[in-house]
Chains A and B, each alone.
Chain A
Amino acid sequence: MTKEERLKKRHSAEKRFRFYGLASIFLALLFVLILVHNIFSKGSSAFMKTAINVEVFFDQELLEIKNGASDDEILEADFFDITIESLIKVYPAKNVEEEDALIELFTTDAEIEIKRAFLENNNLIGKKINLEITASDDIDQLHKGNYPRDIPEDRRRISDFQLVIYDNLVENQKIIKNFNNYFFKNGDSRDPELAGIGGALIGSFYSIIICLLLAFPVAVLASIYLEEFAPKNKITDFIEININNLAAVPSIVYGLLALQILLATIQLPRSTPLVAGITLALMTLPRIIIPCRASLKAVPPSIREGALAVGASKFQSVFHHVVPLALPGTLSGTIIGLAQALGETAPLILIGMVAFVVDIPSTPIDPSSSLPVQVYLWSESAERGFVEKTSATIMMLLSFLIVMNFLAVYLRQKFEKRWN
């Protein structure tokens, strides 16, 4: 091999190596893109729901309520017959089977929707109005194009007859897409068209607030102690080793801790945001302490010495001068820790947040779900409608995380002083 050939070979090796590096960065970026694209393309349709325009006739004989009945009487009244009568008029049905097929096009909550419309409008008795009744999950998915219609009938959840009605409804422009208010308002449900993340949102909110209230003060006080006051001795070393180890303990172990101590020993109520908040606080604490200490450490000693020189006590120098300067870094570390806690799932599953909760929690000691746990729960469901619901929940979760992370970066860049 001549000198030139060898040099050429070495240079091409150089190029190859460089290419590998660039390729791996692109690979990582590609993964981010695929993941985000996959979630968004599946989930964005969940923010709309399909509704069918139905003419409802409030027949007094069927309703059996008087003119000017009070709200309570209306709530008590039976709207079932009216609902059935209105729904089966959407398309001419020949027999009972076909009528059943018609009713199956609508959500199981059609009666409640009609009752609600009746309550909102005054004096509808004996009148006809057009209502947009939410369609069933199958029709919803069909209309959004997520449901294949070219497979044989016995493998479909929608019968040929229902397809005919659907096409007819589309032709007559009776099928509408509305904003899916149920998705934000409702709690969990077995019916995908009614299921929402309202309960999970509130549950996550309570958990994170409790986590913040517990973890932030303790983390700040602990890092002030360790950075500013702790003597160099074995106890301090031991505390530091503990914090570093705790930050690396798998999150599921915190779930076991909560199960044994919080639920079995202290007997706090299961499945509640209170327990979730405490568990997440224990888990987040070391993850907040580490950045807090770093930002305290970044404050130059001259600040402390200046304060001490004019007669401040050690405490005054720390709390009046060092802590305010370290606050932006502390806050941004806390927000990032909370963002991690918001996405944490495993410990919450162990403390029973996987329970099926329909009601929206009103206090932190009501059983509840949380956003990531809702993702897990729905991803286990077989119904097709839950796939888009899960993806949409992930979209909500990711947007919260993005907002929190941007806030953290903003706080640091805007308020943190650079010491040079």
Chain B
Amino acid sequence: MNFVLIFLITIFSLSLFFYGRSKTKTISIEKNIKLNALPKFYGYYLVLWCSIPSLVFLLIWTLFEPVIIKSIIIETAANQGAIFNDKNEANLIYEKIKAIYAGTYFGDIDTILKESALSYAKFIILFTNSKIVLIFGIVIASVIYSLKKIKNNNKARDDVEVILKGLLFASSLIAILTTLGIIFSLLFESIKFFSVINIFDYLFGTNWSPQRAFVRDASAITAEEYEELKDAFGFIPLIAGTSFIAFIAMLVAVPVGLFSGIYMAEYASLKVRRISKPIIEILAGIPTVVYGFFAALTVGPFFRQIGENLGLTVSSESALAAGLIMGIMIIPYVSSLSDDVINSVPQSLRDGSYAVGATKSETIKKVVIPAALPGIIGSVLLAVSRAIGETMIVVMAAGLAANLTINPLESTTTITTQIVMILVGDQEFDSPKTQSAFALGLTLFIATLVLNYIAQRAVKKYREKYD
């Protein structure tokens, strides 16, 4: 249906283009007046007026139609005596009604379901008809308005440009909408979660085991149940595991990345630089799931083998393996950012140092790096934020159980791993377990936002200093 409508609107708009163009030409000849714009702009003007309002309306309608129909149908089903205790069951009944309507339901159909399916069919037809009528109305109204405008010889080029500028502005607003969407979707579930679990119990709890959390009725939790629940949603082991793995990653990435950045900025000939820089950047282009596979199937077992030979017990999902591989992934971020930062240290600083007899490495250590320090710290912080948000490596190579440990040979878990583990497979609606994933997501979002903000400020301040 929608495709037919879009097709009709497109065809009609295109024919309006030719109509507008020739119409204004005849007007200018008949009345012997000078047009205020080239004839084609009158055509464009009609096209924009005909298509944009109706397409925007169609988009909004399509987005909200299923939601509205669903709430109406569930309500009518309830009025007819359908019984459902929570959102899950309501969804199930709605799916059944839809299946009956589509003719793909083969279970028993009782009267309530039958009636609801009939009213569902009724509403579908009603909504489709009113959609068509409204779209025709919108098209006709906007075409009449725009035709009147071009008959009055408006400044079509300027008007077209105003509309297009609005379109450009609307596209740039999508960034804001995405941010709002993220904040809304994270907050919405998190608020529900924090209405069950006290935020301080979440932030300072030392035990994380959401699979144990089972709630019979979220609206009436007894004090005993709460004690148990509180024990299942403690954030401390997750942040400890996340920072621990990120720390191991930084132990790998910072020295290797920084030294290669320094070498490329200060020592490497143009030829070496031209070859080695893209190769190091390959590391950033490899999908993280590939690193995860490598860590889980090669590095993890390899470390365990070494551990066995040395008489150590090494978990095959050790924090060390995940951290090491994550560090390798992050090397190019540190190296290319610090390369840039070091390159923008003014040459005069180096020349001054050479002039008093310092060697190249002394100049780098005592002059260039101190001068570039804010920028380098900024790039390291950006790398840290990437490390804590990284998902696939830790999902595949780190553990699932939340252990509070600082032994790199044991397994730990991270925020992102837990989000994935909770949300993979069948989810229960409205259970604190599902909601906790969104609370974790919110925490992660805030943490990376703060890190990025500080990092960008540091880099910007540093740039301003030497520009």
Contacts and interface: CB of A to CB of B under 8 A. Distances in A.
Contact of A242 (B168, B175, B419, B441): B175
B317 interface: no
A169 interface: no
A215 to B, nearest CB: 10
Contacts of A397: 287, 290
Q: In the complex, which of the residues B164, B182, B268, B389 has the most CB atoms of chain A within 10 Å of its own CB atom?
A: B182
B161 A313 contact: yes
A315 B290 contact: no
A14 B359 contact: yes
B185 A256 contact: yes
Contacts of B416: 250, 252, 346
Interface of A is mostly: helix
A325 to B, nearest CB: 18
B411 interface: no
B293 A375 contact: yes
A130 interface: no
Interface stretch (A92-100, A188-196, A218-226, A357-365): A218-226
Q: Report whether over half of chain B's contact residues are helix, strand or loop; otherwise say mixed.
A: helix
A249 B445 contact: yes
B444 A250 contact: yes
A290 to B, nearest CB: 11
Interface in B416-467: 416, 419-420, 423-425, 437-438, 441, 444-445, 448-449, 452-453, 456
A289 B175 contact: yes
A375 B393 CA distance: 12
Nearest to A25: B260
Nearest to A348: B289
Interface string A24-44: 110111011001001100000
B424 to A, nearest CB: 6
Contact of B389 (A25, A250, A344): A250
Interface stretch (B75-83, B105-113, B121-129, B275-283): B275-283
Interface string A1-42: 000000000110110111011111101110110010011000
A298 interface: no
B286 interface: yes
A259 interface: yes
A42 B279 CA distance: 22
A91 interface: no
A409 to B, nearest CB: 9
B331 interface: yes
Interface string B170-209: 0111111011011011101100000000000000000000
A257 B183 CA distance: 9
A245 interface: yes
Interface stretch (A80-88, A173-181, A260-268): A260-268
A23 B256 CA distance: 8
Contact of B255 (A24, A246, A267): A24
A243 interface: yes
Nearest to B331: A28
A134 interface: no
Nearest to B284: A340
B289 A31 contact: no
Nearest to B358: A10
Contact of A265 (B67, B175, B360): B67
B171 A345 contact: no
Contacts of A219: 171
B250 interface: no
A389 to B, nearest CB: 11
A346 B390 CA distance: 9
Interface stretch (B7-15, B211-219, B294-302, B306-314): B294-302
B143 interface: no
A257 B173 contact: no
Interface in A314-368: 314-315, 339-340, 342-346, 349-350, 354
B437 A345 contact: no
Contacts of B176: 238-239, 242
B288 interface: yes
B420 A229 contact: no
Contacts of B437: 256
Contacts of A256: 182, 185-186, 419, 423, 437-438, 441
Interface string B322-338: 00000010011001000
Given A21-B263, A248-B448, A266-B67, A224 B168 contact: yes
B264 interface: yes
Nearest to B451: A248
B438 A379 contact: no
Given A225-B169, A398-B290, A18 B361 contact: yes
- Which one of A24, A25, A39, A342 has the highest number of Cβ atoms from chain B below 10 Å of its Cβ? A25
A224 B332 CA distance: 30
A286 interface: yes
Given A20-B259, A239-B172, A257 B181 contact: yes
Most A C-beta atoms less than 10 A away, residue of B179, B188, B293: B293
Contacts of B456: 244
Contacts of B151: none
Contacts of A248: 382, 385-386, 448, 452
Contacts of A257: 178, 181-182, 185-186
Given A222-B175, A285-B174, A372 B70 contact: no
B6 to A, nearest CB: 14
Contact of B441 (A35, A252, A315, A354): A252
A139 B92 CA distance: 45
Interface in A191-224: 217-219, 221-222, 224
B168 A250 contact: no
B19 interface: no
Contacts of A18: 263, 267, 360-361
B375 to A, nearest CB: 16
Nearest to B280: A28
B290 A39 contact: yes
Given A21-B260, A265-B67, A379-B396, A35 B294 contact: yes
A343 B288 contact: yes
Contact of A246 (B164, B167, B178, B185): B178
A351 to B, nearest CB: 9
Interface string A119-149: 0000000000000000000000000000000
B441 A253 contact: yes
Contacts of B444: 250, 252-253
A362 to B, nearest CB: 16
Contact of A346 (B264, B362, B392): B392
Given A221-B172, A346-B288, 9 more contacts: A22-B263, A28-B328, A32-B280, A219-B171, A253-B186, A313-B161, A346-B420, A350-B423, A397-B290
22 contacts: A17-B364, A28-B260, A28-B332, A29-B276, A39-B294, A218-B174, A221-B168, A222-B175, A224-B168, A229-B165, A243-B175, A245-B449, A249-B448, A253-B445, A256-B437, A257-B185, A260-B184, A314-B161, A345-B289, A350-B423, A391-B293, A401-B287
Top 10 nearest A-B pairs (CB, nearest first) are A250-B389, A343-B287, A21-B263, A260-B185, A17-B361, A225-B168, A221-B171, A346-B391, A24-B259, A222-B172
